[in-house]
Amino acid sequence: MGLSEVSIAENADILDVGCGGGANIARLLSRAPKGTVTGIDYSSVSVKKSCEVNAKAIAAGRCHVVEGSADALPFDEYSFDLVTAFETVYFWPEIEKCFAGVRRTLKDGGHFVIVNEDDGLSGNNEKWEKMIDGLHTYTPDELRTHLTAAGFHDIAVRRDEQRHWLCVMVEK
């Protein structure tokens, strides 16, 4: 469940928010061989690692990685065909502001995809929330509510009920 769920044009312009060590940037680059992938993460360690992992694509001008936060995306309106968020929205502050910012950066008809390996319904969420300060494991309904408040419609939710994985897709 995740990237395989998403159809990606070969020339797509993609943003991966909370890109971590850049493994998904590399996957996205191979899914859009004539496109571009931008990564953003608020951790300088993650940005450095993402740059190392994707050095060739950066040298070729197909990849950019910037340090910054999901609640203040430093990109123009209508920049991206696809915005992805893997295993990261749990940590975002002011989630509706973040989602509205994602929507602003999407082109009309562009997609936002959230992949969480915890759907908030596993019974483990309280344990995680106590262990990791600031973490919130969103249920599908909570994500629907916040995405709707941020201006998204037609919210598609896919769940792996056994593993409690969640993939949410919306179109601008």
Ligand X SMILES: C[S@@+](CC[C@H](N)C(=O)[O-])C[C@H]1O[C@@H](n2cnc3c(N)ncnc32)[C@H](O)[C@@H]1O
Give the residues lining the site for ligand X (CB under 6 A): 18-20, 23-24, 41-43, 46, 69-71, 86-88, 91-92
Residue closer to ligand X by CB (options 87, 96) is 87
User: Closer CB to ligand X, residue 69 or residue 139?
Assistant: 69
Measured CA to CA, the distance from residue 46 to residue 51 in angstroms comes to 8
Give the DSSP letter of residue 42. S
Tell me how far, at minimum, the Cβ of 61 lies from ligand X, in Å: 23
Sheet containing 106-116, strands listed edge to edge, beginning at the edge strand earlier in sequence: 63-67, 36-41, 13-17, 80-86, 106-116, 165-171, 153-160
Nearer residue to ligand X within complex by CB, 75 or 91: 91
Rounded to a whole number of angstroms, the minimum distance from the CB of residue 165 to ligand X is 12
DSSP reduced 3-state for 3 = helix
Please report how close the Cβ of residue 105 comes to ligand X at its closest, in angstroms: 13
